[in-house]
Structure 1
Amino acid sequence: MVELDGSQGEGGGQILRTSLALSMVTGQPMAIEKIRAGRAKPGLMRQHLACVNAAAAISGAEVDGAELGSQSLRFVPGPVRAGEYRFAISGAGSCILVLQTVLPPLLLAGAQSRVHLSGGTHNPMAPPFHFLERAFAPLVRRLGADLQLTLRRCGFYPAGGGEVEAVIEPAAGALQGFDLMTRGAHQSNYAECLAPGLPRHVPTRELDTLGGAMGWSGEQLRFGSVRQNEGPGNALLATLAYEHVTEVFTVFGEKSLSAEQVAHGLVKELRAFQKSESAVGPHLADQLALLLALAAWQGKKECAFTCSEVTEHTRTNCAVIERFLPVCFAIVESRQASTVRVSPI
C-alpha cells in the first residue's frame, strides 16, 4: 500500500490524479490523506470525485472515501480494461483532468480505448483542450502510442457542457523514451480568441492588443470558431510551433479585467518563455514528467527535457511519481533552461 500525504508540496489535486493513474499502471493499492488540505475548500470537489470514479470504472477498483468533501481515500485497483467509456462532470469541472487521470493506464492497456467526456473544456487552473491537442498529444505520439482528440463543444465556467472525444492507441511494445532538450527551428506563431456570447469588440481588442505587443498580424490573429449556446466565455490562446515541440499558452477573461489586461497577461507569459532557451514551458513540463517517467521505467533508459521554470507543481508531481515507479528525478535549475532528468532505478 502506497501511503500519501495530500498536503505535501503543492498540495493540490494533481497529487490525487497522478497517484490514481500510477496505482492503476503498477497495480499498487494506495491511500491518501489530507486531500487538498491547504485549499479554501479542502477535500474532493466534483471534478476530483469524477477522476476517482473514472479510475474505478476502468480498473474495477475497490474504493473507500469517494464522496464530496472527503479528505481521505483508499484505492485498490484491479486490471485496467481497454474499451469505450463515458465520463461526465456536472457544471464546469474540467473533463480534461479526468482524461489525464485515465490516460496513462489506458496507454498501457494493450488495446484501443475510446473515451467520451463532458464538462469543462476551457477552465482556469486546468489545461484547456487546445493545450492537450497541440502540445501534449504530439509528445504521446513520440512515445510510440497515439492520442487523437476531437472537440465537439466548448465548455466554459460556470455552465460547462463541453464535449470531448479521445481515442487512445497503446504503443505496440514498450513506450519509447526520448530527450527534449531544445525547441528546434521556429515554425509559426498564432493567436486565437474564443469568446462565445460576448460582444465582438472583446475578442477584437484582445487580439489587437496581443498583436501589437508581439508584432503579430493578419493570419496570426484569429477568431476561434464557436457553436451556438456555448458561452458566455473568454479564452485567449497563443500557439508557438517549433521543430521539436509546440507550446500553447492560455489566459481567461474575467469580469474584473479589461480586454487589454487579458491580452497583456498572455504577452507576459509568452515573453518569459521566448526569453528562455528551454524546450517547454512550466505547464507542459508538469505533464511531460509523467510521460517520460513511464518511458524510462518501461525502456530502462534515462530521459531528459529542459523547461523555462520548475514549479512547485512539477516538483510535487515528480515526488509522487517516485513513490510508485522505480525511477529517480534529478533537477538542475538555471535561469535560461532548467533540466529535468528521469532515470530508471
Structure 2
Amino acid sequence: MKQDVIELDGAIGGGQVLRSALSLSMLTGKPLRIHNIRARRSRPGLLRQHLTAVLAAAQVCAARVSGAELGSRELTFEPGPIRGGDYRFAIGTAGSCTLVLQTLLPALLQAPEPSHLSISGGTHNPLAPPVDFLQQAWLPQLRRMGGQVDLQLLRHGFVPAGGGELQAIIQPSTLQPLHLEQRGALLGRRAWVLNAGLPEHVAERELRRVGSRLELPREHLSAVQLDERCGPGNVLLLEFVFEHLTELFSGFGQSRLRAESVADRVIDQARDWLDSGAAVAEHLADQLLLPMALAGGGSFTTPRMSEHLQSNIRVIEAFLPVRIDCSSSAAKVLHVAVSTPRH
C-alpha cells in the first residue's frame, strides 16, 4: 500500500527542518517532499553538510531520492527499511559532523542490528553544536531514555579547514519518556578553551574574562593547545553540571572579534539560562524534542520558544501521532510536554 507523502515547506526554518524530516521519514517509512529548503537563509538550498545528511540517510534506508544536489531547494525522499552496519561519510568541507550524526542517530537506534558510524568534516563549527555538547549535555539525556550510544572524537576540525572526524557506535534501543522539569543542585562548573594554530594569549584572555565575570577559580579554567594542523581554530566551552543535567555553552573565536567579546557572548548565554530557572537551555531543548516524541512522552522547561523549537514541533506533528503542548508559567518559563493521545 502506497504511503501518503508528507509535504513540508522548508521556509518554516533552516537546516533543522530538513534534518528532523529526514529522521522521521526514515523512522516512519513515510515519503517526504520538502520545498523552499532553507529559503530564509543567506545561502538558501542544500549546502555540503545538508547534502551529506541526505545522501547518508538515503544509504541507511535504501531511499529513492530526487533533488539531492548542492543548492537544491526541493527534495523528494522515499525511504526503505532501516539497515544497521558500518558506515563512513565524508562531508568534504568543515560542514558539521554533529548535524549529520543527529540526522542518522534516531533511525540507527531502531535498526535491526548495531551500527558503527564514522563522519569526517567539521567537529567544531559556529553554526552547529560542537562534539563536546553532544558528549557532555545531549547524549547523557539520551542514555537516560535508554539510547545506547558511544561517541568518540578522533580528530578536531574547525572552520574553514575541516578535517575532523567523529565515530559513533549505536546499539538498537527502545527510548523511554524523560521528564526534565528541574535542574537540581549545582554540582560543578568549569571553562576550557580549545586552541589550534592561534597565540596562547587568545585563550588566556577568554579564560580571564570568564573567571572574573563568573567568579570561577583558576583551577576551574584550562586551555588545550591542539595541533596547529587542526586549525586555525578557537572555541571557548563553558560547562555547568547540575544534579539532573549538564549544560554546555560555546563561543567561537573569529577574526576582528576580541577574545573578551567571545567570552562575553558565552557568559551572557549562560547567565540568561541560569537566571531563568528553566531546566534546559535553548539548544538542548530543541534537541530533546525528537527523542521524546519517539519515546511517546516527556517534558522539560526552557527559557522561551525559539525558532528551532517551533519549527521542530511542526515537523514532528506532521509525521507522528503525538501532541506537543507549550505553556508559559508565572515565572515566564516555557513548559513543553510531549504526549501520545489515547484513541
Aligned 8 A contact 2:195 2:225 in 1: no
State the match for 2:300 in structure 1: 305
Question: 2-side partners of 1:210 and 1:229: how far apart?
Answer: 27
Tell which deviates more after alignment, 106-115 or 73-82: 106-115
One-letter code aligned to 1:248: L
State the match for 2:180 in structure 1: 180
Q: Which runs of 4+ in 1 moved over 4 A?
A: none
State the match for 1:322 in structure 2: 317
What are the Cα deviations for residues 60-110 of structure 1, in whole angstroms up to 9, with x where unaligned?
000000001111100000000011100111121001110010000001113
Question: 2-side partners of 1:251 and 1:336: how far apart?
Answer: 26
State the match for 1:299 in structure 2: none
Aligned counterpart in structure 2 of residue 340 of structure 1, from 330, 336, 341: 336
- The 5 A counterparts of 1:93-104 are 93-104=95-106
Q: What's the CA shift for 1:170?
A: 2.3
1:264 aligns with 2:260: no
- Give the secondary structure class of the aligned counterpart of 1:179: strand
Q: Aligned-pair RMSD on alpha carbons?
A: 1.1
Give the TM-score normalised by structure 2.
Answer: 0.96
Which runs of 5 or more residues in structure 1 are unaligned? 297-301
State the match for 1:140 in structure 2: 142
Residues 225 and 149 (structure 1), Cα distance of their counterparts in 2 relative to 1, 3 Å cut = farther
Q: What's the CA shift for 1:282?
A: 0.3
One-letter code aligned to 2:307: E
Which runs of 5 or more residues in structure 2 are unaligned? none
1:64 aligns with 2:59: no
Number of equivalent positions = 336
Aligned 8 A contact 1:15 1:320 in 2: yes
Aligned counterpart in structure 2 of residue 131 of structure 1, from 126, 129, 133: 133
Aligned 8 A contact 1:310 1:333 in 2: no
Question: 1-side partners of 2:156 and 2:17: how far apart?
Answer: 27
One-letter code aligned to 2:64: E
Q: What's the CA shift for 1:118?
A: 0.4
Aligned 8 A contact 2:196 2:234 in 1: yes
One-letter code aligned to 1:339: H
Tell which deviates more after alignment, 265-274 or 18-27: 265-274
One-letter code aligned to 1:149: L
Aligned 8 A contact 1:304 1:339 in 2: yes
What are the Cα deviations for residues 183-206 of structure 1, in whole angstroms up to 9, with x where unaligned?
111111000001110001000010
State the match for 1:7 in structure 2: 11
1:117 aligns with 2:113: no
Tell which deviates more after alignment, 34-43 or 315-324: 34-43
Q: What's the CA shift for 1:37?
A: 1.1
- Give the secondary structure class of the aligned counterpart of 1:7: helix
One-letter code aligned to 1:275: D
Give the TM-score normalised by structure 1.
Answer: 0.95
Tell which deviates more after alignment, 68-77 or 218-227: 218-227
State the match for 2:167 in structure 1: 165
Q: What's the CA shift for 1:111?
A: 2.4
Question: 2-side partners of 1:183 and 1:48: how far apart?
Answer: 33
What are the Cα deviations for residues 225-269 of structure 1, in whole angstroms up to 9, with x where unaligned?
523511110100101111110000001111111111111111111
